[in-house]
Amino acid sequence: MSNLSLPVGAKGSGRARYAAAMDLYQVGQISPQVLEIYRIASALDGQDPEPMLAEIGEVSLAEQASGEEIFRRLIEESDRYLATLTGPGVAEVRARLNLWRGGPVTLRPCGNAVIAAHLGDALAALAVTHLALAQAIAAAAPYLTWHPYDSYPIAEIGAAFADGQAYASLIGEDATIPAKDYDLGIFLIAPHLLYRDHHHAAPELYAPLTGPHGWRFGPGTPLIVKPAHMPVWNDPHRPHMTKVGAVPFLALFGWTADVRQAAVVIPAGDWAELEALRLG
């Protein structure tokens, strides 16, 4: 990839970039549209292909190369972090992470308002005890594909939840690194939000990086307040609910099977009370 990092304006850099792009095109790493942009820019060493790539929603190949390094560092730090945890599911999530981590990285950066508003506060809290992981997340965040989890009808999950969370899949189906029937990602929920009772087929590990926050495992059961770094394992269809405290809820999550089956809300009569509750 070194030819791709020649500075714009350097003699011969336009042709060098095009040659490197052609190599990648021939092995199916870039689209004909991206190759065409490098072809157009090849005649002019001073022509930066980046604005043209941005127009079609692509990152430059040089940025892709450095973004990949940053992304792989995040995977490494995530696995190093998970290795410090004990409890059900941790070994399974790590085994699959290590099975798939060597796959190709495809960056599709997509920003999100919840991430812009709250990730900084969550990482500041995490950095106090886990600086390397906080730095790895901060560096990779602009390259991640952030989306709200939107499989629920809004009338059931509530508008506050719909607008107050976002996640990025790191390794999984449609994730930055592809995998089958597995999903490893980062999830962020805004302060004080209630993630109402729900269940899903996927067995799930939550590794919360911030805290405290409340959990319950079925409507009518008591709220259990947990600190950061205390993992939660949910067997298939185990009901669970999360009440976020004053610090944004930031977690690594792992789904180890049945990832295509959407989660379902479980009705409960006390959500208004829990939504008004302030922890800490």
Binding stretches for Fe ion (CB under 5 A): 204
Amino acid at 179: A
Q: How distant, in Å, are the alpha carbons of 46, 105, 192, 197, 265 from that of 70?
A: 27, 11, 31, 35, 36
Nearer to Fe ion, 143 or 253 (CB): 253
Cβ proximity to Fe ion, 45 vs 204, nearer residue: 204
Q: Which is nearer to Fe ion, 9 or 87 (CB)?
A: 87
SS3 236: coil
* Residue 117, SS3 per DSSP: helix
Q: Which residue is nearest to Fe ion (CB)?
A: 204
Tell the smallest beta-carbon distance from residue 240 to Fe ion (Å): 6
Q: Considering the complex, what minimum distance in angstroms separates the CB of residue 254 from Fe ion?
A: 11
* CB nearer to Fe ion: pick between 68 and 204: 204
Which residues, at least 6 apart from 128, have a Cβ–Cβ distance to it below 8 Å?
Answer: none
Extended strands (E) in the chain: 165-172, 177-178, 183-189, 194-199, 204-208, 213-216, 224-226, 232-234, 240-244, 249-255, 264-265
Distance CA 174, CA 92 (A): 20
Taking the CA atoms of residue 151, residue 154, residue 160 and residue 166 in that order, the dihedral angle to the nearest 10 degrees is 20
Between 58 and 204, name the residue whose CB sits nearer to Fe ion: 204
Cβ at position 171, least distance to Fe ion in Å:
17
- Closest separation between CB of residue 86 and Fe ion, Å? 20
Cβ 198 to Fe ion shortest distance, Å: 6
Closer by beta carbon to Fe ion, 3 or else 261: 261
Relative orientation angle of helices 90-100 and 61-82, to the nearest 10 degrees: 150
User: What is the widest separation between alpha-carbon atoms in the chain?
Assistant: 70
Provide, rounded to whole angstroms, the least separation between the CB of residue 103 and Fe ion. 25
All residues at 6 or more sequence positions from 22 whose CB lies less than 8 Å from its CB, including other chains: 35, 38
